Structure 1
Amino acid sequence: MATHHPFSILPDDPDLAVPSASLVTANEREPTLPAILHEKIERAAAYAKAARAGATRRAYDSDWAIFTAWCAQHGLGALPASPEIVAVFVSDQASTGLNPSTINRRVAAIGHHHRAGGHPAPTAMPTAGRLAEVLAGIRVEHGGAKRQKRPADAAALRNMLATIEGDGLRALRDRAILAIGMAAALRRSEIVALQVEHVGIVPEGLRLTIAQSKTDQVRRGAVIAIPEGSRIRPKARLLAWMTSAGHTEGAVFRRLSRLDALTPAAMSDRAVARLVQHYAAAAGYDPSQFAGHSLRAGFLTEGASQGATIFKLQEVSRHKSVQILADYVRNAELFKDHAGQGFL
């Protein structure tokens, strides 16, 4: 019987990568590994690579580029890098005001690229104790309260919508993005990923299919109900955009040329963030307090203030944990039935 030899499936995945070796059999007269198995191995590698979200891969690549540039600037080797080098790097990053969560992600990116190159992650080396102490110190020193962007609640969103003039393609598109993004509590990545076939029109409003999201990497999908609405009117604004744009397939929200001509390309998630900030500024708000997430946070803030339960909020937001939603409800009810109401 032929013996099994280890082979490399995906060098950059620590759970799958093992020492590579020639694909041979114990009996040289036996046939070599069939070509079809090679194809299956390649397909498995592709699936494993897809398991890491595209946004995470891009962030890791950016973090790794920052680390290698820092090493080059200081005449240090980036691969492999000792825990001591990484400790100095993160300390330097913290001194620039970078928040601890971003620093932790950069350390994770460094470990990822080390494993991909056949080296142990610096955090897994026997001498990693000092690095762990530095990271803990950064969390204590620079952790603090998380700075949240301002939510685009109903009042803010109506003010932002009121600044959009005319009925050109850009005006119709931007109104629809603001209204749908808030009404469905969408992440900016989910807004730009919406496809025409994901939009279902029903008498009560809309049924949006979210094919994939940050917390749904296996693509089970989710359906969100959006009421017709009489104030923000998300259904009417979305249909006005789609009717005027006239495209029947592909991305719902398309890029426009400088002359406001429709293009086949989907918008980027960064464009959504810039759009929110632009109209926040036009409405008289500080644009630095707003971001793409303001639309999602706006729905949760407004829903909680209107008395929606955590579970009804979760139906729309699709949060895996109710803890974040509990914070929205708690903030909305800070003064409701206050303990000091009767004597203060």
Structure 2
Amino acid sequence: MPKTPENSALPDHIAPSGPLDRLVDTARDYARAAASDNTLAAYGTDWKHFTRWCRAKGVDPLPPSSELIGLYLADLAAPRDAAPALSVATIERRLSGLVWNCAQRGQPLDRTDRHIASVLAGIRRKHARPPVQKDAILPDDILAMIATLGFDLRGLRDRAILLLGYAGALRRSEIVSLDVHKDDTPDAGGWVEIFDDGAVLTLNAKTGWREVEVGRGSSDRTCPVHALEHWLDFAKIEFGPIFTRTSRDGKRVLDARLSDKHVARLIKRCVLDAGLRADLPEKERLALYSGHSLRAGLASSAEVDERHVQKHLGHSSAEMTRQYQRRRDRFRVNLTKAAGL
């Protein structure tokens, strides 16, 4: 059996002992923490798909062969059977999953191998398309969405989620991973400190630890910090996860932390209830919005220097920030006129 993070153990030539066994458990926990649960689940799915494909072709998946990997990638891009062709982004993700899985099994796969790189470059050249971007939720949209929520505990919670997620330009996983204090729970992804002028969120984001400052709004109705305080006060949450489940009737707070899928479902439900893009069929309307619509909305609406938006979103480059800006002045810097034309 391969020594993956889930079953790693002492080398055969080292005798087990209590202290070493405890260190094995600690090392295993750290290895699991090297990637998110979602990433590990995706890598597991990638490996199952590849091994099924290998069985169907009558070949062994290990040791990894660059020629075999090239054939697999080509079949994903242009399948010979009735299976749908995968996008370039999904194919690249599948390759990352194979690299990770092969490494865990002591059979490293070099994705920069000339054959693999050439096949992947050809797939990109022939099949790459501009990324499909979700619509941004703009200020009027977010106001219409929170207006559809009630004032029971569930409504207070969901209002705080939408406003905090929007003003903080947070990923949905970052929203639900927040705790009241530092080190409240082992699975926390950050915590909140509330001040007179706003709140500071300390987040263990995908790019590392960062702080996000969320200032108070112009009115209690639209203020994300007030909405957060309102939820914490009425839900009597003083410790642990900030955003937890509620009973079906929305009147009781439960202990379990919300899943990030709740944020996605909440956004889509409020989009429909608020009548956003009512000119389109329901299926198309739902496809336009996702959790990233909150981040794109803040990036597109904040009338401040782009550097502040970049820092707020935690991007390492301005180019990445611009991908989130759905309505920016693309010609504010006019190089044509600057060149004398």
Q: State the TM-score, normalized to the length of structure 2.
A: 0.79
Alignment of 1:64-143 (within 5 A): 64-95=47-78, 96-121=84-109, 123=111, 129-143=114-128
The structure-2 alpha-carbon separation of the partners of 1:257 and 1:83, relative to structure 1 and needing over 3 Å to count, comes to farther
Secondary structure at the aligned position of 1:274 is classed as: helix
CA distance in 2, matches of 1:182, 1:243: 21
CA distance in 2, matches of 1:324, 1:339: 21
Alignment of 1:32-71 (within 5 A): 36=19, 39-40=22-23, 43-44=26-27, 46-71=29-54
Alignment of 1:323-338 (within 5 A): 323-327=319-323, 331-334=327-330, 336=332
Alignment of 1:233-248 (within 5 A): 233-248=223-238
> Does 2:285 correspond to 1:289?
no
User: Could you tell me whether the CA contact under 8 Å between 1:310 and 1:329 is conserved in 2?
Assistant: no
Secondary structure at the aligned position of 2:213 is classed as: strand
User: Could you tell me whether the CA contact under 8 Å between 1:194 and 1:252 is conserved in 2?
Assistant: yes
Cα RMSD for the two superposed structures: 3.1
CA distance in 2, matches of 1:203, 1:223: 16
> Does 2:201 correspond to 1:225?
no
Which of 308, 311, 326 lines up with 2:307 in the alignment? 311
User: Could you tell me whether the CA contact under 8 Å between 1:12 and 1:112 is conserved in 2?
Assistant: no
User: Could you tell me whether the CA contact under 8 Å between 1:209 and 1:222 is conserved in 2?
Assistant: yes
- The corresponding residue for 1:26 is none
- The corresponding residue for 1:205 is 198
The alignment of Structure 1 onto Structure 2 pairs a total of residues equal to 309
Secondary structure at the aligned position of 1:265 is classed as: strand
CA distance in 2, matches of 1:146, 1:227: 34
Which of 119, 127, 136 lines up with 1:151 in the alignment? 136
Counterpart residue identity of residue 53, structure 1? S
- The corresponding residue for 1:215 is 207
**How far off its partner does 1:256 sit?**
2.6
Deviations for 1:10-40, whole angstroms, at most 9, x for unmatched residues? Answer: 9448xxx9x95513xxxxxxxx898646655
**Greater Rg over alpha carbons, structure:** 1
- The corresponding residue for 1:278 is 269
**How far off its partner does 1:146 sit?**
1.0
The structure-2 alpha-carbon separation of the partners of 1:339 and 1:266, relative to structure 1 and needing over 3 Å to count, comes to same
Report % sequence identity. Answer: 34
Counterpart residue identity of residue 324, structure 1? M
User: Could you tell me whether the CA contact under 8 Å between 2:136 and 2:326 is conserved in 1?
Assistant: no
CA distance in 1, matches of 2:274, 2:59: 49
Counterpart residue identity of residue 158, structure 1? L
CA distance in 2, matches of 1:192, 1:275: 13
Deviations for 1:90-136, whole angstroms, at most 9, x for unmatched residues? Answer: 22322424221221121121122122222232647xxx544332211
CA distance in 1, matches of 2:170, 2:74: 35
- Comparing 329-338 with 227-236, greater Cα deviation is found at 329-338
Secondary structure at the aligned position of 1:332 is classed as: coil
CA distance in 2, matches of 1:328, 1:50: 28
Secondary structure at the aligned position of 2:61 is classed as: coil
The structure-2 alpha-carbon separation of the partners of 1:112 and 1:336, relative to structure 1 and needing over 3 Å to count, comes to closer
User: Could you tell me whether the CA contact under 8 Å between 1:224 and 1:315 is conserved in 2?
Assistant: no
**How far off its partner does 1:48 sit?**
4.2
| Structure 2: runs of 5 or more not aligned | 79-83, 182-190, 278-284
- The corresponding residue for 2:177 is 193
User: Could you tell me whether the CA contact under 8 Å between 2:200 and 2:211 is conserved in 1?
Assistant: no
The structure-2 alpha-carbon separation of the partners of 1:282 and 1:76, relative to structure 1 and needing over 3 Å to count, comes to farther
CA distance in 2, matches of 1:60, 1:156: 36
The structure-2 alpha-carbon separation of the partners of 1:338 and 1:157, relative to structure 1 and needing over 3 Å to count, comes to farther
- Comparing 261-270 with 66-75, greater Cα deviation is found at 66-75
User: Could you tell me whether the CA contact under 8 Å between 1:152 and 1:294 is conserved in 2?
Assistant: yes
> Does 2:292 correspond to 1:302?
no
